[in-house]
Amino acid sequence: MENTVVSATKFNAWFGDNHVVKDVSINIEKNQCVAVMGPSGCGKTTFLRCINRMHELIPGATAKGSLKLYSDEVYTMNPIYVRYKIGMVFQRPNPFPNLSIYDNVIAGYKLNGLKVAKADLDNIVQKSLTSAALWNEVKDSLHKKGTFLSGGQQQRLCIARAIAMEPEVILFDEPTSALDPISTSSVEQLFHELKEKYTLIIVTHNMQQAARVSDKTAFFYVGELVEFDDTKQMFTAPKDVRTQNYITGRFS
């Protein structure tokens, strides 16, 4: 398919001898918001981390199979380049505490030593913070440290930081599980807007969140991809009985 951004074919991952992701095949299309859900230990976070090659940073972690960004194999590309193209936002907001808000947003450029003109940097900061719905709240305090913001604002700062690198895909690892309900809904509102420019893949424990924000949902169970379908279909009439049991809370 022309539109496929990330595609996995029979992808496997291990932690030492522990086979965590088993033969996963999935095609994710451009400008979609895909939610990945499943019970704890089902391999969804591991799979997510394989996409931008963060998985291999853990000692003893291995992976095998085909995982492509457009038509290039992720595991043959330079990992630095992969991470430029595929950004990530983590569960606990983690802005760099020694950098100001301004520097946090352009951290990708600064820490990599990429030379960009000052006027362009200003532009990038403004655009990214606007896309992350944070510009109006911080535009007068860009040179203060990032850790004085509230949890929801810090998470949006991390999103702005990821956006500033102009990735193709943004991965979210349970992005709102450490936030209060109001911050959560402001971040969820953001997903609807981000979808138009980027492809989003969100791992979440919260089924209602998956239902609210995503176009398609993938259900992982014990390392396997059990079902991958439109969210409306998944939540009204799922095809697999395991999906139904998970969604209705019937798991023991």
Partner 1 sequence: MDARIGIRNTKSILFKSFIIFLAFVVTIPLIIVLLYIIKQGVMQVNWHFLTHVPAPEGEKGGGIANALVGSLLIIGMSSVVAIPVGILAGIYLSENPGTKLAYYSGLCVDILQGVPSIVMGIVVYFWIVKPFGFSAISGSIALAIMMLPIVIRSTEQTLLLLPPSLKEAALSLGVPYHRVILKVIVPCGFAGILSGIILSIARIIGETAPLLFTALGSNYLSFKVTGAMESLPHLIFTYATSPYDDQHDLAWGASFILLMFVLILNIFTKLITRKWKIQL
Partner 2 sequence: MRFKNFPTFQPYNLTTIFKIKTMTPLETEIVSLKKELISMWMLVQSQMNKAKEAMVTFDKDLAREVLIKEKRVNSFELKIDRDCENIFALHCPVAIDLRFLLAALKINTNLERIGDIASGIAFYVVESTENFGMKSLESTSLLRMYDEAVNILIDTRIAFEKEDTALARSIFKRDEVLDEINENAPIAVAEIIKEDINNIPEALYILSILRKLERVGDQSKNIAEEIIFYVEAKILKHMDSGKRKIEGE
- Positions in the binding site for partner 1 (CB under 8 A): 52, 54, 57, 59, 79-84, 87-88, 90, 92, 94-98, 107-108, 111-113, 145, 147, 158, 161-162, 165
Residue 251 partner contact from partner 2, partner 1, none using kind-dependent CB cut-offs of 5 to 8 Å: none
Residue 186 partner contact from partner 1, partner 2, none using kind-dependent CB cut-offs of 5 to 8 Å: none
Task: Kindly state the tokens that stand for 204.
Answer: 């979440």
Residue 52 partner contact from partner 2, partner 1, none using kind-dependent CB cut-offs of 5 to 8 Å: partner 1
Q: Nearest distance from residue 180's CB to partner 1, in Å? A: 19
Nearest CB to partner 2, comparing residues 11 and 246: 246
Q: How is residue 150 annotated by DSSP?
A: -
Residue 96 partner contact from partner 2, partner 1, none using kind-dependent CB cut-offs of 5 to 8 Å: partner 1
195: phi then psi, degrees, rounded to nearest 5: -55, -30
Pairing of strands 169-173, 4-15: unpaired
Q: Nearest distance from residue 233's CB to partner 1, in Å? A: 32
Pairing of strands 33-37, 61-69: unpaired
71: phi then psi, degrees, rounded to nearest 5: -115, 10
Residue 119 partner contact from partner 1, partner 2, none using kind-dependent CB cut-offs of 5 to 8 Å: none
CB 229 within 8 A of CB 239: yes
Residue 37 partner contact from partner 1, partner 2, none using kind-dependent CB cut-offs of 5 to 8 Å: none
3-state secondary structure of 235: helix
Residue 113 partner contact from partner 1, partner 2, none using kind-dependent CB cut-offs of 5 to 8 Å: partner 1
Nearest CB to partner 1, comparing residues 146 and 238: 146
Q: Which residues contact partner 2 (rule: CB under 8 A)? A: 185, 189, 192, 208, 211-212, 231-232, 235-236
Pairing of strands 86-89, 169-173: parallel
Task: Kindly state the tokens that stand for 107.
Answer: 């951290």
Task: Kindly state the tokens that stand for 189.
Answer: 């509102």
115: phi then psi, degrees, rounded to nearest 5: -85, 120
Nearest CB to partner 2, comparing residues 20 and 202: 202
Q: Nearest distance from residue 55's CB to partner 2, in Å? A: 31
Query: 145 has which bridge partners?
Result: 100
Cα–Cα distance, 164 to 168 (Å, whole number): 11
CB 149 within 8 A of CB 138: yes
Identity of the residue numbered 83: R
Q: Nearest distance from residue 96's CB to partner 2, in Å? A: 31
Nearest CB to partner 1, comparing residues 163 and 234: 163
Q: Nearest distance from residue 236's CB to partner 2, in Å? A: 5
Nearest CB to partner 1, comparing residues 56 and 224: 56
Task: Kindly state the tokens that stand for 93.
Answer: 């907001």
